Structure 1
Amino acid sequence: MSHCFPPSANNVSTQKNNLIPKKVGVFVWRAKRKRLPVLVELDKRGVDLNSVRCPLCDDTLESVEHTLFSCVHAKVVWEKVYNWWGNLTSLGGFDDAFDGKFNTQASILGAKIWQAVQWTTGYLIWKNRNQKVFKNSSWSPPMALNEIQVKSYDWVAKRCKSKKIEWHDWLNNPISVILNRNQRHEILTSYWSAYDNDMAQMELNEQRCISC
């Protein structure tokens, strides 16, 4: 399965991710090869359909990329996940999301954790698309984020043997989970340096106001 994914900078996307169940890896493999039964793919295979438009937004054709990423219902979920992770990387396109690429110098384990979160997000978007289509069940963005947080933590924390992951950190500061001690120190140092500069500027502005 590894040959189906283009290599990323850290080569994680070409490897099996053992932090999530096999069913999620199989789902990603099928999604990357456009082997999910979205309406466009069913139509290509000769299935007689009334429409091939997205059953959720009805704005365009239902392709794999649209369903899992571009549809307004999917995009708002991705935005919430990226915000939860402190916008670790910019919200790119379908390939970026499913390759697990990121713009930070995390460890290989950290990269696999971030990839696991992204793959879990796609998997649950697809699962809940099916529940909406076939059972007319609702899945609001806050509900989506909560399910992704809980499910990804449950999978990753149980399978990660080399690192203990606390629920509080996962929920409130997940980026700290994937950075090593030196990187966390650099981030904190940068944060407090910026904070001190801001406070100094505020004091200077107050002094100028008093003297006016």
Structure 2
Amino acid sequence: MLAWKGVEGRIPTKTLSELEKGGIHISNTLCPGCGYEQETVEHILLMCLMSKTLWWMVGSWLGVKDLHSCSSVADILSFSLKLYISKKKKKAVNCIVMATLWNIWLSKNEKVFKVVQFSNAIILEQVNECTMLWMNVIAKMEYIMENLVTEEWYTSGVNVIEN
């Protein structure tokens, strides 16, 4: 959901006019991460020095170059398509990208609402943990779905899934 809203530019930021329409007036529209640029979706998730550094760290962890040079959420989401890796690894890269976007958003909110700031090293650990959790859930769901018979699913629903 966050990724889709990011592509559409519909994540609430200080510069999003939807906040003003809702009666929320914000005098300081600068990014809480760097304090230099306007807080926009792309800036928070990709362009802020904090985010860009984290994307560089994720790229290094993955062994890929240029991940930190994506300038839109759509670019970062389609990054794995450019890689010459297996379909399984592309799924993993996509999961890592989603987890990174999610953890950048969470850390930004922690700073704004709880005045807690995490280092990029801690955020990267959270990305690692989040990715492992999500990939385990996806793998279990794929296994379950591979072994379902469509007709049984439609007639019995979740009752066809073995414990």
Q: Could you tell me the TM-score, scaled by structure 1's length? A: 0.59
Equivalent positions of 1:140-159 (< 5 A) are 140-159=119-138
Please tell me whether residue 59 in structure 1 is matched to residue 36 in structure 2: yes
Question: Is the Cα–Cα contact under 8 Å of residues 56 and 73 in structure 1 kept in the other structure?
Answer: yes
Question: Is the Cα–Cα contact under 8 Å of residues 76 and 97 in structure 2 kept in the other structure?
Answer: yes
- Unaligned ranges ≥5, structure 2: 144-163
- Unaligned ranges ≥5, structure 1: 1-25, 164-212
Please tell me whether residue 160 in structure 1 is matched to residue 139 in structure 2: yes
Query: Offset of 1:43 from its aligned partner?
Result: 6.4
Give the whole-Å Cα distance in 1 for the aligned partners of 2:38 and 2:18.
Answer: 11
Question: Is the Cα–Cα contact under 8 Å of residues 43 and 52 in structure 1 kept in the other structure?
Answer: no
CA RMSD of aligned residues (A): 2.0
Query: Offset of 1:44 from its aligned partner?
Result: 6.7
Letter of the structure 1 residue corresponding to residue 50 of structure 2: H
- The one of 50, 54, 61 equivalent to 1:73 is 50
Where does residue 131 of structure 1 map in the other structure?
110
Question: Is the Cα–Cα contact under 8 Å of residues 19 and 25 in structure 2 kept in the other structure?
Answer: no
Where does residue 149 of structure 2 map in the other structure?
none
Query: Offset of 1:129 from its aligned partner?
Result: 0.2
Question: Is the Cα–Cα contact under 8 Å of residues 53 and 61 in structure 1 kept in the other structure?
Answer: yes
Q: Could you tell me the TM-score, scaled by structure 2's length? A: 0.76
Give the whole-Å Cα distance in 2 for the aligned partners of 1:100 and 1:123.
Answer: 16
Equivalent positions of 1:13-162 (< 5 A) are 26-42=1-17, 45-46=20-21, 47-87=24-64, 89-91=65-67, 92-93=69-70, 94=72, 95-161=74-140
Aligned residues between the structures: 137
Query: Offset of 1:55 from its aligned partner?
Result: 1.9
Where does residue 156 of structure 2 map in the other structure?
none
Query: Offset of 1:157 from its aligned partner?
Result: 2.4
Give the whole-Å Cα distance in 2 for the aligned partners of 1:79 and 1:159.
Answer: 26
